[in-house]
Amino acid sequence: MAKKEAVETSEAQIAVHWQEEDYFYPSKRFIAQANLTDESVYERFGLDNFPECYTEYADLLHWYKKWDTVLDTSDAPCWKWFVGGKINASYNCIDRHLEKNKNKTAIHFVPEPENERVQHITYQELYVRVNEVAALLRDFAGLKAGDTVTLHLPMTAELPITMLACARLGVIHSQVFGGFSGRACADRIVDSKSKVLITIDGYYRGGKLIDHKQNADIAVDLAKKDGQKVDKVLVWQRYPGKNSVPTPMIEGLDYFVNDLLKNYRGKKVDPVPMPAEAPLFLMYTSGTTGKPKGCQHSTGGYLAYVTGTSKYIQDIHPEDVYWCMADIGWITGHSYIVYGPLSLCASTVIYEGIPTYPDAGRAWRIAEELNVNIFHTAPTLIRALRKIDPDLPKKYNHHFKHMTTVGEPIEPAVWRWYHEVIGKNEAVIVDTWWQTETGGFLCSTVPAIKPMKPGSAGPGVPGVYPIIYDELGNEIKAGEGRAGNICIRNPWPGAFQTIWRDRDRYVSNYYERYCKDKNSKDWRDWPYLTGDAAMEAEDGYYRILGRIDDVINVSGHRLGTKEIESAALTVMEVAEAAVVPVSDEIKGVVPDLYISLKPGHEPTDELAMKISAKICETIGKIAKPRRVWLVSDMPKTRSGKIMRRVLGALSNKKDVGDVSTLANPEIVDEIRKVTS
């Protein structure tokens, strides 16, 4: 395995040099109101009670028909949860709350322009709007249970409304992050075989009204070239009835949702009772190859898991105002902005724009205005806010009982600032470690039960049993001070079911590495490989060290180095491309791109800019390289493999180590001159 060194040398060494941090304890006030204070939960969710323990989460939901089998392993490692059960996610997130809470706010939509008023959408209004959209999707777009539809929507209320309308019909939604390019959207339309694309004309970001409609035109065009024809593009309007952007509508293809909705006023659509294991949505994520993977999430198991973990780890009560500042275009938003909080009848905040727009106090003004008491964000934003003005949050009168950090490892110093300054020493913090594939949390403290430890995610959440293996498959024990590949010993209901239309890739990526018997139908033989390196401290808390594969985590956004490299390789002049992660004070890491050119081409600034632009166009601005280094050759092994480790050391101004075994050791000094 190529990544062997990464785990055995660099990561482990860093880990060994880490200090153990002191515990922080939740306040009595937090504990007094917490949803989960009973320590016996760890027994109830013990492996002896597995998988039945998870019925405790399923029982938080409304079922049309209860399941016959909690966990069906007959198609291992494609696990099926709550088989025989019938359920609808839209019903669980809306209808069931109407009797007691119809006038409660379900969604607070906060537009980026500060002079635009916040929209408070009650559960009753959400019910009406979701029904109307469901009717439109069914009767106008012809969508039915089991169909796929691609959404390319930014952070406005129309996104969860559209998702819930799909869920009402059993239509599988595949939401593409709004910041992704038309090309990236096209790839996902093709892979998911979507005939309908749902988008919006424009949205605000950084004070500008972005023309988003142009991405739809590109996506439809490119998808068609790749064999997937989109029949209808449904376009929401940022301002209903008004043209906000210059890109025109295409006759016979594009339709304004707001125009069509007039025909569906007051229409009601019965939620379709879906088999528990019917897919609810696809979420594409980056992997080790250039092609993104469509993670297929189930209806019953997924909803049970995100509801249970929202209740016990996020400590959401129906009276809470909950703000997760992620984008719904990522799994965090699906699980912990939309499905989890709404299933628990909370009020969830959706903020359209940039967290620091027009200034770094914006978030705290929103929190004050809406009385937010649960706050959820990623280390990259915490670092940025700390850098801009470390005392600013003190000037605001917000009060959080609970805060989350998610997406990347958080440095203990940054954690302490989050706790002291943003949390005002009052809020409990959970550091939740999980992935697109896992649907919900894997490791975190249960906030009223386990103390916090800066920089550590904590132990496995109830019912999740991590294990760390070394390269040979031997278990690395707690407190050994060695890092290894963190896996999960058992299935859990939030886990993705497969990679959309690619079971082989699902098995080989996630389950082959430490499988004990490929013919086994026993879950004990199929540990789930997360792709992260980690260390377990003596107290059973896990410290996550980062990816062991070719995935980098830029501001908590997951990018495949291979994806960036393959985009670069589509530029005619490029012969070879190699991406390496460079440490960044705010973003965690950023990509550096090394390029060698085909013979006869000159390394110019224009060419470097062209390659950079190509990457933004292919993936999106988030993948823009920090620098494009045009070099005469790559450092290579004798077998011709590019030594990314050496390039990484150069970019990070670190010791390159022993390079004498390279096929071309002299190139190292040459590249050093270019990059310094």
**Are the CB atoms for 219 and 186 separated by under 8 Å?**
yes
Give Cβ neighbours of residue 301 (< 8 Å, ≥ 6 apart): 81, 82, 276, 277, 439, 493, 494, 495
Nearer to ligand WT7, 409 or 491 (CB): 409
Of 217 and 532, the one with the shorter C-beta distance to ligand WT7 is: 532
> CB 185 → ligand WT7: shortest distance, Å?
18
Q: Which residue, 108 or 293, is less far from ligand WT7 as judged by CB?
A: 293
How many CB atoms are located within 10 Å of the residue 225 CB? 9
Backbone φ and ψ of 413, nearest 5°: -65, -40
Contacts of 530 (CB under 8 A, 6+ apart): 435, 438, 442, 485, 486, 487, 488
Q: Which stretch binds ligand WT7 (CB under 6 A): 9-17, 19-27, 185-193, 326-334?
A: 326-334
Q: What's the closest the beta carbon of residue 415 comes to ligand WT7, in angstroms?
A: 11
* Contacts with 404 (C-beta within 8 Å, 6 or more apart), sequence order: 314, 324, 336, 374, 375, 376, 377, 429, 430, 431, 432
CB 257 within 8 A of CB 237: yes
Q: What is the DSSP string of 643-660?
A: -HHHHHHHHTT------T
Which of these segments, 183-191, 430-438, 466-474, 630-638, binds ligand WT7 (CB under 6 A)? 430-438
What 3-state class would DSSP assign to 95?
helix
Closer by beta carbon to ligand WT7, 19 or else 660: 19
Q: Does 333 bind ligand WT7 (CB under 6 A)?
A: no
Q: Output the smallest distance, CB 63 to ligand WT7, in A.
A: 27
Residue 498 CB, nearest approach to ligand WT7 (Å): 16
State the Rg of the chain over Cα.
Answer: 24
Helix (H) or strand (E) segment spanning residue 225: helix 213-225
Q: Is 432 in the site for ligand WT7 (CB under 6 A)?
A: yes
Q: Could you say which residues in the range 392-411 bind ligand WT7, by CB under 6 A? A: 406-409
- Closest distance of CB 437 from ligand WT7, Å: 7
Tell me how far, at minimum, the Cβ of 536 lies from ligand WT7, in Å: 14
Judged by CB under 6 A, which stretch of 47-55, 202-210, 224-232, 542-550 contacts ligand WT7? 542-550
Looking at residues 142 to 201 of the shown chain, list those that interact with ligand WT7 (rule: CB under 6 A).
none
Of 133 and 328, the one with the shorter C-beta distance to ligand WT7 is 328
Show the binding pattern over residues 255-294: x = contacts ligand WT7 (CB under 6 A), - = does not.
------------------------------x---------
Of 73-81, 139-147, 419-427, 530-538, the window that binds ligand WT7 (rule: CB under 6 A) is 530-538
| Position 299 contacts ligand WT7 (CB under 6 A) | no
Site for ligand WT7 in 337-376 (CB under 6 A): none
The type of residue at 609 is M
Residue 204 or 434 having the CB closest to ligand WT7: 434
- Window 54 to 113, contacts with ligand WT7 (CB under 6 A): none
Closest CA to 218 of 247, 244, 240: 247
Closer residue to ligand WT7 (CB): 237 or 310: 310
The DSSP secondary-structure symbol of 6 reads: I
- Name residues contacting ligand WT7, limited to 549-578 (CB under 6 A): 553, 558
User: Which SS3 state, helix, strand or coil, does residue 235 take?
Assistant: strand
Q: How far is the CB of 438 from ligand WT7 (least distance, A)?
A: 8
Q: Write the single-letter amino acid at 316.
A: I
Q: Is 434 in the site for ligand WT7 (CB under 6 A)?
A: yes
Strands 148-151 and 402-406: unpaired
Neighbours of 250 (CB within 10 A): 14
Distance CA 363, CA 375 (A): 10
Nearer to ligand WT7, 320 or 408 (CB): 408
Provide, rounded to whole angstroms, the least separation between the CB of residue 89 and ligand WT7.
19
The reply to whether 436 sits near ligand WT7 by the rule CB under 6 A is yes
Residue 358: cis peptide before it, omega within 30 degrees of 0:
yes
**Count of CB atoms situated within 10 Å of the CB of 252:** 8
Instruction: Write down the least CB distance from residue 301 to ligand WT7, Å.
Output: 18
Each residue 447-476 as x (binds ligand WT7 by CB under 6 A) or -, in order, gives: ----------x-------------------
Query: Among 89-97, 102-110, 178-186, 330-338, which window interacts with ligand WT7 (CB under 6 A)?
Result: 330-338
Q: Are 320 and 592 in contact (CB under 8 A)?
A: no
The CB-of-559 to ligand WT7 minimum distance in angstroms stands at: 9
HEC profile of 334-351: HHHHHHHHHHCCCEEEEE
CB of 532 to ligand WT7, least distance (A): 5
CB-wise, 26 or 329, nearer to ligand WT7?
329
DSSP 433: B
Query: Considering the complex, what minimum distance in angstroms separates the CB of residue 336 from ligand WT7?
Result: 9
**Bridge partners for 576 per DSSP:** 596
Size of the site for ligand WT7 (CB under 6 A): 23
**C-alpha span between 160 and 387 (Å, rounded):** 33
How long is the chain?
676
Instruction: Decide whether 94 or 499 has the Cβ nearer to ligand WT7.
Output: 499
Alpha helix (H) residue ranges in 450-596 = 503-510, 561-569
Task: Using CB under 6 A, list all residues that contact ligand WT7.
Answer: 285, 330-332, 406-409, 431-436, 457, 530-532, 544, 546-547, 553, 558
